[in-house]
C-alpha cells in the first residue's frame, strides 16, 4: 500500500471527518471510498 501526503483545506477536512463519523468508518476508508467512486465515473 502506498502512503500519500496531501494538504487539503480545513473546511474539506472537517466535512470529510464528519461524514466518516456519521458513516462509522475511518477517515482513511472514507477517502479511499471517495476516490474509488470518482474513478468509476470514467
d(C-alpha 31, C-alpha 29), whole Å: 5
Please answer whether residues 20 and 29 qualify as being in contact, where contact means their C-beta atoms are separated by less than 8 angstroms.
yes
Classify residue 3: in a domain, yes or no.
no
Number of independent structural domains in the chain: 1
Classify residue 17: in a domain, yes or no.
yes
d(C-alpha 28, C-alpha 20), whole Å: 9
pLDDT number for residue 21? 98
Q: What pTM did the predictor assign?
A: 0.85
pLDDT number for residue 35? 96
Classify residue 21: in a domain, yes or no.
yes
pLDDT number for residue 4? 95
Amino acid at each position: 500500500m502506498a502512503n500519500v501526503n496531501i494538504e487539503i483545506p480545513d473546511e474539506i477536512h472537517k466535512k470529510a471527518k464528519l461524514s466518516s463519523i456519521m458513516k462509522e468508518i475511518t477517515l482513511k476508508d472514507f477517502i479511499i471510498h471517495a476516490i474509488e467512486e470518482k474513478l468509476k465515473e470514467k
